[in-house]
Amino acid sequence: MSETSREIRLASRPEGQPTEENFELAEVAVPAPGDGEALVRNAYLSVDPYMRGRMRDAKSYVPPFKVGEVMDGGAVGRVVRSNNPELSEGDWVQSMNGWREHYVTDGSGLLPVADPGVAPVSASLGVLGMTGFTAWVGLTQFGKPKEGETLFVSGAAGAVGSMVGQLAKLRGLRTVGSAGSEEKVALLTSELGFDAAFNYKDGDIGGALSEHAPDGIDIYFDNVGGDHLEAALTRMNVFGRIPLCGAISGYNEEQTPPGPRSFLTVLPSRLTIRGFIVTDHYDLYPEFLAEVAPHVKEGEIRFLETVVDGIENMPGAFLGLLDGQNTGKMLVNVDDDAG
């Protein structure tokens, strides 16, 4: 095993769009596990939009990254050395010790990985992990879907959005998705079962919604905010629900964008808008797994991954995520032997 390990540190805080200069690749000695500890070699690192918020020095639901220190996030890896009776060499574990190749743990805070009979370990970070669970929580708890209704989801070809559309379809809804390229739009209707999809970069989001959701929208699952939210609000059916999951169109803005001009529609249309953070709902994770894992195992839920190789390419993968270069879950593979 190599005696050095690599990690990514926050070099500086970005203003607006982040660049490679905001990150630093550092080499450190592989840490040695002490009594009761184990050494883990990460295999897959999760790349997520919320990390952009953590690059800001601002109070939020997760603390900011610190300049000069290793960043963190979801990761799955294998125990390679252990002085902990609970952890054996070869065990797969999930942690929040991402953005690095190795770490030492006393076992606290580790989570299991996906059942290999159901899906590969990488799915622990996607379809059966945080992003899949986010889709399920937002849809079932706050979207409150009913058969025959129409759901619109933005960011539909991403990790959360692609799951929202498929879960809604399984529940008998009509599904409409938006995404940022013709390839993604084609994928939504051909492989992910969406009834309709459109490329928001064509410009007229409101017109596309009127065309593809002619009977109005009952649930708008918002991953994007901004002009998507503004256009969806005026096309919501009475008593419609809007789970507010993310607002990625504004993550690089230095000034808070103005609220949607159509906000007052909420009143006559009696809409329910509900922001949520997935980490508040992990008591429901067993229910999610019981429902979703069989669909994944049977191939009734497709999960897509965009996998970038090498920790040195993690900043690029993160910048690519913000720029729409991923389809499905964005991951970085940092172990050639991970398979």
Binding site for ligand NDP (CB under 6 A): 48-50, 131, 134, 155, 157-161, 179-181, 184, 200, 223-224, 245-246, 248-249, 276-278, 321-322, 324, 326, 330
Q: Alpha helices of the chain — where are they, by DSSP H?
A: 50-54, 130-137, 159-170, 182-190, 205-212, 226-233, 285-297, 314-322
Distance CA 263, CA 68 (A): 41
Nearer to ligand NDP, 38 or 321 (CB): 321
Q: Cα separation of 241 and 234, whole Å?
A: 13
Q: Closest approach of Cβ 132 to ligand NDP, in Å?
A: 10
- 3-state class (DSSP) for residue 311: helix
Closest separation between CB of residue 24 and ligand NDP, Å?
A: 24
Q: Give the shortest CB-291-to-ligand NDP separation in angstroms.
A: 18
Integer angstrom CA distances of residue 257 from 64, 248, 267, 327: 21, 12, 22, 27
Residue 289 backbone dihedrals phi, psi, to 5 degrees: -65, -40
**Minimum distance from CB of 223 to ligand NDP (Å)?**
4
Shortest distance, position 155 Cβ to ligand NDP, whole Å: 4
Q: Which of 15, 89 has the CB closer to ligand NDP?
A: 15
Query: Is the Cβ of residue 83 or residue 199 nearer to ligand NDP in the bound state?
Result: 199
Residue 40's Cβ-count burial label (10 Å; 0-12, 13-18, 19+) is buried
- Using CA atoms, how far residue 53 sits from 99, 168, 182, 247, in Å, is 16, 29, 29, 11
Q: How far is the CB of 258 from ligand NDP (least distance, A)?
A: 16
Q: Which residue has the tokens 């949607």?
A: 260
Nearer to ligand NDP, 103 or 200 (CB): 200
Which residue's CB is nearer to ligand NDP, number 88 or number 141? 141
**Which residue, 113 or 245, is less far from ligand NDP as judged by CB?**
245
Strands (E), 19-134: 23-29, 38-46, 75-82, 92-95, 102-105
Minimum distance, C-beta of residue 117 to ligand NDP, in the bound complex (Å): 25
Nearest to 208 by CA among 264, 150, 152: 152
CB of 119 or CB of 197, closer to ligand NDP: 197
